Amino acid sequence: MSAMRSWIFQAVPFCDDSVAVLHLGAGVPPMYFTGRHGSHIHENDVVYFFLAGAHKDAGLWGWGLVKEDADPVSLRAPAAYSVTVDPPIPLSTALSSAAFEWHEIRTRPRETCYALDVRQCRAINDVLRQSAFGVPPIGT
């Protein structure tokens, strides 16, 4: 079994129906495109759900867990919410830590999946705590 990791799964409105996927919340875990990170995403990894762009609801929508390893062919992984953030925490707040100054989510904002290090997980968890939401365990 591999060590738990943490990821941002980001819905990008102009790429697909990923905004609709964010609204699903509970129920059957939707499949998220993992791209080049697919081979590293495994069951029980922590996922932070984000909506990209200038949309009024852009930001951190919640966190959850990957339900099974990413499929090596489709590069998609099912993930389900553990905590839903309502209203979403704006991107400017969720990514305000210096830990994200040079992170790919800033330099490549149209991606759908980003790896996080422990420092970045702590920064997001601090924002969640300040907003009175539960926080996930920190992966590597």
Q: Mean of the pLDDT values across residues 117-122?
A: 92
Q: To the nearest whole percent, how much of the chain has pLDDT over 90?
A: 41
pLDDT value, residue 46:
95
Is the pLDDT at 58 greater than 90? The verdict is no
Tell me the CATH number for domain 6-130: 3.10.590.10
Q: For tokens 């922590």, what's the residue?
A: 46
pLDDT value, residue 138:
77
- Give the closest residue to 12 by CA, choosing from 21, 25, 4: 21
Give me 69's structure tokens: 């390893």
Mean confidence (pLDDT) of the chain: 84
- For the four alpha carbons of 78, 83, 86 and 90, in that order, the dihedral sign comes to negative
Is the pLDDT at 1 greater than 50? The verdict is no
User: Please, which residues have CB within 8 angstroms of residue 117's CB and are 6 or more apart in sequence?
Assistant: 99, 140
